[in-house]
Amino acid sequence: MDIWQELEAQHARIGDRSILELFMDPKRAEGFSLHSDGMMLDYAKTNIDAETRALLVALAEGAGLEARREAMFTGARINTTEDRAVLHVALRAGDDAQIMVDGADVMAQVRATRARACAFAEDVRSGRFAGQAGRITDVVNIGIGGSDLGPAMATLALAPFHDGPRVHYVSNVDGAHIQDVLARLDPERTLVIVASKTFTTIETMTNAQTARDWMAAKVSDPGAQFAAVSTAQERTAAFGIAPERVFGFEDWVGGRYSLWGPIGLALMIAVGAERFGEFLAGGRAMDDHFRTAPLGANMPVLLALVGVWHNQICGHATRAVLPYDQRLARLPAYLQQLEMESNGKRVALDGSDLPRHSGPVVWGEPGTNGQHAFFQLIHQGTRVVPCEFLLAARGHEPHLAHQHRLLVANCLAQSEALLRGRSLDEARATLAAKGLEGAALEEQARHRVFPGNRPSTTLIYPQLTPFVLGQIIALYEHRVFVEGVILGLNSFDQWGVELGKELAQSLGPVLDGQASAVDKDGSTRQLLSFVQGHDG
């Protein structure tokens, strides 16, 4: 029996065992939680016991996790389908770090670019860099996917630290997006950052041109109010952005892992270089933990193993991310790209079919809003949705501490309700207390039953600071890495996005009336003709 089979057998043995009964062990909570630099992950409310955990850790060991982890941190070309190293960790490495790729230390370049980006951010913040009419009041980051979701999520998360110009994010090729953002801004006081690793992404290049036209209508030298972040410096030059405002990075930084470098420029401008440095330090602290803690006491590893248990072993196809932290409202969207673009693959590293399901569907919304929307299904639906709660012990609004207490109470109540549920007898007793009896009571009671025994984890931290945000994001990055290693796939390519891009290109000329739709299927032809019938 291999370890996967042992885990499946373990799952069959456990069946629907009560998670609540695991708490008969007074050490359950302590034994099934982990700490890293002031942050705690509590996974005691899952059906994982010591034996299951040992099997899961053995699964990670058997997948060669430790060697793969070292290979990543030391610059080996582990992204084999693109023949690249995977070194987003270099972007947050300390001053004394040395990381070799193809025999050369990459850190000097990383540090130089970081220093240049930070200096530019401070120039924008202080007014040393100005627009045609003076100080920059607004920054527009144009990018999509990893060139948008990370900085947009982090800018919102760090709102209490925001003391620079206003920062806006435009991603969608839908003209409505850029229209609604630019309509509120003064081009003479706006800086546009075009963020694109490849500088070819159609959405970004189209929006960049729209922004340039908008700027050119009022500003005599519009290119002077543009900056670019990209690996493709010849393309940024062709777009007319002067090299001193171009911030490069290397192809060993994946788009969805790029927030730590110059793709974070808009965030740097919002919160300043010092706060951005604290964010990097948080990521670095999680790197150190991930690299050194034993697998069974390693937060990213355990979070990944909980995920593998729920998805590949228990068969729960989705995972809800539920930050009880309004400023993490964009975290679920960010994690959708991080996790689903990384581990949504159907072939293993060697090209063979994946023997098990790939990563789960990730979705979520902040609490308490989600409670009034989809929690009904989480509590009483027929499918189990493992939930991941995130919670700060302290908010940033001391004068609203009573609201924070309500937020905390709600978060803890939800995981408790998922764990305990409410039995038929308890439902009956509640109804009886309200005066119902007989058939009327019986008719109502079953609707008020909560099966309970539904798993959740809670990541709890003192307060959402730049350092803590860095820890959280690095935690999830490494979790994705560990899950990818266990599943035996390449977490660092994204070939699955290509086909749709190619077909969109072929449909452009059809919509422009310059090509025929004859080779398209009937449904696509019908939709095209609907659009053409309503065009203009």
Residue ranges in contact with ligand F6P by CB under 6 A: 144-147, 196-198, 201, 204, 255-256, 341, 494, 497
Cα angle at 124 between 118 and 125, to 5 degrees? 85
Q: How far is the CB of 194 from ligand F6P (least distance, A)?
A: 9
Quote the CA–CA distance of 520 and 512 in Å, as a whole number.
16
Nearer to ligand F6P, 342 or 453 (CB): 342
Instruction: Write down the catalytic residue from 341, 365, 388, 477.
Output: 341
Cα angle at 428 between 425 and 432, to 5 degrees? 140
Instruction: Write down the catalytic residue from 372, 399, 402, 447.
Output: 372
Quote the CA–CA distance of 358 and 401 in Å, as a whole number.
42
Q: How far is the CB of 377 from ligand F6P (least distance, A)?
A: 30
Q: How far is the CB of 155 from ligand F6P (least distance, A)?
A: 17
> What is the torsion angle, in degrees rounded to the nearest 10, for the CA atoms of residue 159, residue 165, residue 168 and residue 169?
-90
Nearer to ligand F6P, 261 or 421 (CB): 261
Start-to-end C-alpha separation, the chain: 65
Nearer to ligand F6P, 236 or 494 (CB): 494
Residue 396 is among the residues annotated as catalytic for this protein: no
Quote the CA–CA distance of 347 and 71 in Å, as a whole number.
21
Quote the CA–CA distance of 21 and 129 in Å, as a whole number.
62
The pair of three-digit structure tokens given for residue 146, joined into one six-digit string: 């990893």
Q: How far is the CB of 523 from ligand F6P (least distance, A)?
A: 24
Residue 434 is among the residues annotated as catalytic for this protein: no
Residue 520 is among the residues annotated as catalytic for this protein: no
Q: How far is the CB of 255 from ligand F6P (least distance, A)?
A: 3
Q: How far is the CB of 495 from ligand F6P (least distance, A)?
A: 10
Find the helix or strand (DSSP H, E) in which 529 lies: helix 522-534
Quote the CA–CA distance of 338 and 358 in Å, as a whole number.
14
- 116 and 133 in contact (C-beta within 8 Å)? no
- 204 and 194 in contact (C-beta within 8 Å)? yes
Cα angle at 300 between 331 and 47, to 5 degrees? 95
C-beta atoms surrounding 23 within 10 Å = 15
What Rg do the C-alpha atoms of the chain give, in angstroms?
A: 25
Tokens 């808009």 locate to: 266
Beta strands in 8-148, from DSSP E residues, in sequence order: 33-36, 39-42, 100-101, 104-105, 130-131, 134-135, 138-142
Q: How far is the CB of 147 from ligand F6P (least distance, A)?
A: 4
Nearer to ligand F6P, 255 or 307 (CB): 255
3 state SS of 320 = strand
CA-closest candidate to residue 145, choices 197, 222, 68: 197
Q: How far is the CB of 228 from ligand F6P (least distance, A)?
A: 11
Q: Active-site residues: which are they? A: 341, 372, 501
